[in-house]
Chain A
Amino acid sequence: MSKIRVLVGTKKGAFILTSDGKRKTWKVSGPHFAGWEIYHLKGSPADPNRIFASQTSGWFGQIIQRSDDGGKTWNTPGSSLEELKSPEGFPKGESNKFVYTGKAGTHKWYDGTQHPWEFKRVWHIEPSLTDPDTAYAGVEDAAIFKTTDGGKTWQELPGLRNAKGHLWQPGAGGMAVHTILLDPKNAKRIYVAISAGGCFRTDDGGKTWKPITRGLKSLYELPDPDAEVGHCVHRIALHPARPDVLFMQKHWDVLRTDNAGERWTEVSGNLPTDFGFPIDVHAHEPETIFVVPIKSDSEHYPPDGKLRVYRSKTGGNEWEPLTKGLPQKDCYVNVLRDAMAVDSLEPCGVYFGTTGGQVYASASGGDSWNPIVRDLPAVYSVEVQVLR
């Protein structure tokens, strides 16, 4: 029988939740890296026991951790004590070295002046679909880095910042590459999203990038209807069988594109708010999508104190609230952009974590929900692996 492993990054450590394919009984392992902020963990599709984790701290900076045994043990790649005897020479301890290529340059600052690019942390790690030694890191200040040696060293793909990077301006949450989507049908195509930066695509493996924001509207922040950058994209998602179709939760509105981002169309329909963070696609139904509407702009919690996932089975526009098993009064948590995931079992499992420390799971495509855990630190990210 298949096993399920849910990787949870929180404000105070990482947790690994495991179950069998029934997804009824769960074991909780953690905290790993207790006391550190874990922005994201994700397993390699090419080697599911290899997991990358972004560990960060306001005191001690960025750490990259890697497990090669499904999260039982961890190492900072290229600096373990065992590698002191490595034939490659003395370990350099560079797995946390993220240096912008060439002159770092400047981006737009809050007062309209230019401000130097400064690395702060890794928000998201996206392992290659085919090579366990290759992964991409989305970082703050916004840039994308790549490793081809299992995380020992990271090199920037600087072409992204050439896509009008001087006009990007941080929002209240910072300016980070928070989403990286790899096209499973085209190894050269990658999508990224940046809050208050926009959405970008490369078709040459990361050398050059272009904004893909036509059709996005951000009336108050960006009066120019043709603005290519500056849209506050909160999350994008795709179904692997149909990678030209993307869904987006933006600061305002939910949108879709059917041509790889060349043109976006709003599909917010009957959603109760125009704001939210995560969006994800059903594993078996490419037109079924999930969002968690949040009251914007200033409050950032569910409207009416009711935690509701909204599901559309029509690719947007027509939405139904999913409430069974979720708190329907006095609930004022948030669900952050990287804190929703789906599994590929039948029926599709859907998972999300909250800033209140709950991780909810549905083993029925969203029809009903149960909390796996209730009292973790604030959840930053949720990823799920199916182990066969």
Chain B
Amino acid sequence: MIRVVLPHHLRNLARVGGEVQVEVAGPVTLGAVLDAIETRYPMLRGTIRDHDTLKRRPFVRFFACKDDLSLEPPEALLPDAVASGEEPFLVVGAMAGG
């Protein structure tokens, strides 16, 4: 199981507290994890990445194992520690306020 930490507003939207877990069959890529999140929590579709283009929304960032993965392509493999469930995959609302 992949551990995922969602930002506050998306946890509220999905009606979950704390971490969530999703299952990924096959290689644990960035795109596969995002697919799994949106499949388990359909109300999050369009909030992390665009419905059609599947591009990351500009003020959403991805982190894991202290690395910024936001610019990685969908086919990028996530770190082994995420794939094994040792470390969470983080979806973060960027500091872009004012």
Residues of chain A at the chain B interface (Cβ within 8 Å): 35-36, 57-63, 76, 78-81, 90-94, 96-97, 99
Contact = CB atoms under 8 A, between A and B. Distances in A.
Contacts of A59: 7, 9, 57, 59-60, 93-94, 96
Closest 3 CB pairs of A and B: A93-B42, A93-B45, A79-B42
A60 B93 contact: yes
B38 interface: yes
A50 to B, nearest CB: 18
Interface string B20-57: 00000000000000000011001111111001100001
Given A58-B96, A96-B51, 13 more contacts: A59-B60, A59-B96, A60-B57, A61-B46, A62-B46, A76-B13, A79-B45, A92-B45, A93-B42, A93-B44, A96-B46, A96-B47, A97-B45
A58 B59 CA distance: 7
A98 to B, nearest CB: 9
A91 B51 contact: no
B38 A93 contact: yes
Given A58-B96, A59-B59, A60-B60, A76 B43 contact: yes
A58 B9 CA distance: 12
B10 interface: yes
B50 to A, nearest CB: 8
A59 B6 CA distance: 13
A99 B42 contact: no
B66 interface: no
B57 A94 contact: no
A196 B43 CA distance: 34
B57 to A, nearest CB: 6
Contacts of A97: 45-46, 51-52
Contacts of B48: 60
A94 B43 CA distance: 8
Contacts of A76: 13, 43
Given A59-B93, A59-B94, A91 B42 contact: yes
A62 B51 CA distance: 11
